[in-house]
Structure 1
Amino acid sequence: MKISIFQIYKLRKITGIGIMDCKIALTKTNGNFEKAIDFLRKKGEKIAINRSSLEVKEGAILSSVNIDQTSGTIIGLSCETDFLSRSSDFLNFLSKLSEKSFLYNTKKDFLSSSYHGRSIREMIIEKISVFDEKLELKIFEKINSPFVVNYTHNNKIASLVGFSFEIKKSIAKNIAMHITAMNPIAINKKEIPEDLIKKELEIIRFQIEKEKKTDQIKEKMILGRMKKFILENTLFNQKYIKDNNITVQEYMNRSFSKNVKINSYKRISIS
């Protein structure tokens, strides 16, 4: 079967490898494009790394903490199908990566790190040929704090919370679960980014301008809506998910004898 230049260049664009290799792959597979990709993938790392043109929609995420609970990470591994993202082999591999992630502060350092003589990057590449899908470490987040807890929901949403000192684990876990479910934008009003406040204020003003009210009433409405925005989107002011009669701050005040602080938190979603 004669292979056209168009076919060769199309395969080269997807794989990023040489023209002659693409021609050989297409010749060997009688011009079957998908089989040619599989043929090249079996040749190893080069084809695996350069499958960037294939769309990646699926994956899984996992939050974990180290043994002494002073460090936590969220890592996310992307793939191409929902079926693989839910498989035990894929999730077990993600868990294996997570166990080593605490030792590094950046994704770059983590991918370059050695694990039984291989780098994490090489381990991921090897799994590409096993799973027959493109994999990529898309997410790497870390928190260091005197006490860190984590929570992961269905491997699609994950949170880490760093406290100022060690507290009862079940209570700390409740805070992490709340963050996972309610997605606050900041711990308190002071930590809301200035540009976000300005943007929200502009939106509210635009909405209020349409109201047939006096300027004085409009200003009160603007203040009221901004207050509501802050209460609904800051962690300490949100209604606690397990008891809507109290706020998260009130839940913490009732639960601790000491003045515990939340130093930081991270929440990542891939759903």
Structure 2
Amino acid sequence: MAKITAAEVNKLRKTTGAGMMDCKKALVEADGDFDTAIEILRKKGQKIAAKRADRESSEGAVIAKVNDDNKKGVIISLNCETDFVAKNDDFVKLAHDFAGMALNYDSKDAFLNADFNGMTVQEKLTEQTGVIGEKLEIGAFKTLEAPFVGSYIHAGNKIAVLTGLSKDVDGAEEVAKDVSMQAAAMNPVALNEEGVDQETIDKEIEIAKDQLREEGKPEEMLDKIAKGKLNRFFKDNTLVNQAFIKDNKQSVSDYVQTLGKDVSVVAFERVALEG
């Protein structure tokens, strides 16, 4: 039987992230063969992943990344089962590594099948399920492209936002971050009125009418008053029309136009973990 050294155990631990004892056992079982030991640890991860497949992975880390020229951004969530794991430094680092890599892909499937240090991202998730003992998966995968893209990650990595501006101008980074913070805090339903789906509009009008009936308003006035309430809903719940949280005397749209009258928010993406 091959003699297993501490250096070999440490090398396997650094490569896989598995615990020292798991690494030693794998090397012993593999008779000192490094690649076989990795395969043993992967199979252990597959077994644990299969056992935990029906578990809910509602905790995790949501990470936003933007490429070097600020033209494209991505948000991914690396999901796990418990907040304890979600706060682990190695877990958060893995989430950041995944997000940086995800910038090169336009779909979740392509990303999961991409190479990550000699294995696919999906295989890495399975391996780390074995290491950590919890179900790990990529939850959200959102991309955004615009003339300028900025981002914000809320403290604790539970919310991340991307904001796209119509122009790359001086001050765009600060403004895009401020708008991203706005979206993180206020959770708008859409960018503007045009982005609100008809089902939501119909629901809000019906709610308004029900309230007005309870107040005793005459039926013939309901449509007109309900439309006024709908406009208030748009002001409170669409990003560009919301009062800017750093200066509620102006809207988000007005704030963005401090960069120039022709500068606007063209899109945003928000991902939050509610676990």
Tell me, yes or no, whether TM beats 0.5.
yes
The alignment status of 1:104 with 2:108, answered yes or no, reads no
Alpha-carbon separation, structure 1, partners of 2:174 and 2:230: 33
Match of residue 246 from structure 1: 250
Match of residue 149 from structure 2: 148
Alpha-carbon separation, structure 2, partners of 1:172 and 1:57: 28
TM-score by length of 1: 0.80
8 Å contact kept, 2:52–2:134: no
Query: Which structure exhibits the higher relative contact order, with contacts defined as CA atoms closer than 8 Å and separated by 6 or more residues?
Result: 2
How far is 1:216 from its partner? 4.6
How far is 1:49 from its partner? 4.1
* Number of equivalent positions: 231
8 Å contact kept, 1:63–1:160: yes
8 Å contact kept, 2:256–2:264: no
How far is 1:207 from its partner? 1.9
The alignment status of 1:130 with 2:134, answered yes or no, reads no
Match of residue 237 from structure 2: 233
Aligned pairs for 1:46-195 (under 5 A) are: 46-153=47-154, 154-167=156-169, 168=171, 169-195=173-199
SS at structure 2 position matched to 1:52: coil
Which blocks of at least 5 consecutive residues in structure 1 are unaligned?
Answer: 1-39
Alpha-carbon separation, structure 2, partners of 1:102 and 1:77: 15
Counterpart among 251, 258, 269 of residue 266 in structure 1: 269
Alpha-carbon separation, structure 2, partners of 1:104 and 1:67: 15
SS at structure 1 position matched to 2:44: coil
Q: Which runs of 4+ in 1 moved over 4 A?
A: none
How far is 1:242 from its partner? 0.3
TM-score by length of 2: 0.79
Partner AA of 2:159 in structure 1: I
Alpha-carbon separation, structure 1, partners of 2:96 and 2:132: 16
Alpha-carbon separation, structure 2, partners of 1:72 and 1:53: 31
Alpha-carbon separation, structure 1, partners of 2:119 and 2:146: 30
- Deviation per CA, 1:226-268: give whole Å up to 9, x if none: 1211110111211001011111112122x11250132211111
What is the aligned-residue RMSD (CA, Å)? 1.9
- Deviation per CA, 1:66-87: give whole Å up to 9, x if none: 1111111110011111111011
SS at structure 2 position matched to 1:62: strand
